[in-house]
A and B are shown apart, each in its own frame.
Chain A
Amino acid sequence: MFAALGDETRLALVAKLCGGESRSISQLTEGSKLTRQAVTKHLHVLERVGIVRCVQAGRERLFEFKPESVEEMKQYLEFVSAKWDEALGRLRSFVEE
């Protein structure tokens, strides 16, 4: 997931979608130096790792940001981090006593 966000173009796409509105490929291509094909390719990478989702709206495919993907990773890290705090607290008591 972080590898997918490591690319500046993809990060810029996520930034455009972060506001919550769904956007079409044309809208996302607009104003960028990239071709429609390149944008589509990047969107698929983001879709595969679960950062964005694609929804069909009539004849158009729209892409939207999945905030829960980032939130979930954050929660997981907070969980493991809290476990380390507990373990290091026990280590402290153990070596300082």
Chain B
Amino acid sequence: MGIVFLVLLGVWLVVNLIKTPSDFFTVLLIGITTGSVYALIALGYTLVYGILQLINFAHGDVFALSGLVASTFVVSVFGLDETTATLGIIGGLLAILLFVVVFGATINATIEFVAYRRLRQAPRLAVLITAVGMSFIVQNVSLAIFGVNFRSVPPLISEEHVFEVGDVTYQWNQLFAVLATIPVLILLSWVVASTRHGKAMRATSQDPDAAAIMGVNVNRTISFTFLLAGGLAGVGGLLYLLEFNIRYDTGFELGLIAFTAAVLGGIGNLSGAVLGALLIGLIQAFNEGLSWHAPGSDWTRSIVFGILIAILVFRPEGLLGERTPEGA
């Protein structure tokens, strides 16, 4: 059945490609851009799930809060807009980036410290319910500080075209999201694969008790993981803000999409999260952008959650993950 579905999907894509090739490639590029922002959020879910087996519902809201904080910095503190000199924009954005990374990391680690740490011995469902509660709390903090209106920033990154092939264009501001994501991913995989902290993280995720016996400070390692995840959420918040509008409840829905991406790729698996995020970004863009028999944006959420359910039911280990007892 799955194969039939994939074949139909392929046929649908090919027909769209033949009918409106320029639309197809434009939409493809949009998909890659959104996908790379989703990747940053999805990595946060996957990191935390890998180490605590916890779906950190609050993660998406930390992302939104970071984005909102970044919007204040861009507009009110630094007063950046499209007329600012290029050097000013670069310097300002770097400073804001640094700040939101620290901000997101602090908030995320604080949530872990306040709410999850006390429940370390508790059953997993208790922690999960707590995470749902924390999500609402963070969301309401955003609401209290930033109100109900959407926040956006002036187009800081040039909207000139990187390249033009026929009708297909790619703008610098779209490319920027991708360009900014790649070094972050490289840095992250270096941290996890090659540093002492990364080693401790991997050990803790495999077996916290054994890791503790081997001298790993489990609590500190978990805090470090939340710091990393929060930092990624901060980067994601800023990048998302440069492209789209953001509001106090943006994080909830986006968080669910990113979580779906993480599950699609195989939760707990870093490259899986990136792959899943790109796929989800593409699916969303194709669904909303193609003209021949595309369900359209009204159905995006249903499609994303449909994928989530199908993956969990038929292949709970995801595309790249290994089979865990959680499945079957």
Q: Do A and B come from one complex?
A: no
